Structure 1
């Protein structure tokens, strides 16, 4: 068995991603980062020999995302502190990523809303941060610190955060494929 086939067989999540029909693969990758060039590069790179290889490629391709692509992707993200509605994958992931806001009191939520509004006035796009594992107070402190950035610097920071979210979501996609492989009804 070739090395990439053996690695893929040992990792049902990776095997699932490698085996997806190309259109479904594109749709799944777009849930992680809805930037066409990134999605296409990842889809063309299949099959991946390991999760590490896939994540490294995803990070490399995400680093090449342009300012315009970042701005377009920002327009599709929910604001920090706003609950994503629906049961689709992206909404569930967003709620999970922002779970640190669940215990925030009304004053902290109001400060985040005000900070979001100030940020949007200053930069012309939403405040985006990889919120996974971070508390509401940490997110507010980050938001306030980033208000001191100039627009070009902030676009780079937002791009870095967008890439971090993409990698977190790609890991979730791999985990979901692994879980699906364990369910008999999910097997082809």
Structure 2
């Protein structure tokens, strides 16, 4: 991250948060002495994203977040997945953007329940309150993605340009 040309650093950062303003701000403050400094810069850049930049970042989020379903019986998973799709559709209809929630510290066997509960509870928010919650979840997602990106880079060298840090891509 520290040695990459600005356009490469920004491209890598955009895989962590879809706001170009955020990526440019984080890239502009390089070099970072350690991961904690990078994460602090990420937080600072994310805290005051204007509505347009937040909308840009939300638009670049996947429409259907992957949810671990390890150990969930097939019929139960199918019913839960159907409920999840319906809740996502209701959320997107109400707020005009994808639902985002950080599940980094949620055990895999609780992720689906956590996601469904969060979706249902946040559907009752007013748009301004939900915009603030979505911004905070994006900040948390960016932190986790940055940490995984840094860990993979340290372990295996540079990643493929454009690969999401939460994807299963393994650098060659």
Provide the rounded CA distance (Å) in 1 between the counterparts of 2:144 and 2:58.
16
Q: Indicate if the aligned counterparts of 1:129 and 1:158 stay in contact, CA closer than 8 A.
A: yes
Higher helix share: 1
TM-score by structure 1 length? 0.74
1:141 corresponding residue in structure 2: 117
Distance in 2 of aligned mates of 1:126 and 1:158: 9
- The question of 1:29 aligning with 2:13 is answered yes
| Alignment TM-score, normalising by the size of structure 2 | 0.80
The CA distance in 1 between the partners of 2:122 and 2:114, in whole Å, is: 12
Q: Which of 123, 134, 142 is matched with 1:166 structurally?
A: 142
In structure 2, the partner of 1:130 is 102
1:58 alignment counterpart: 42
Residues 133, 110 of structure 1: alpha-carbon distance in 2 compared, 3 angstrom cutoff: farther
Matched residues, number: 151
Shift of 1:80: 3.2
Give the CA deviation at 1:101.
4.1
Q: For the residues of structure 1 that align with 2:84 and 2:17, how far apart are their CA atoms?
A: 24
Task: Map residues 177-188 of structure 1 onto 2, 5 A cutoff.
Answer: 177-181=153-157
Cα deviation 1:49-77 (Å, max 9, x = unaligned):
12111111110111111122111211121
SS at match of 2:85: helix
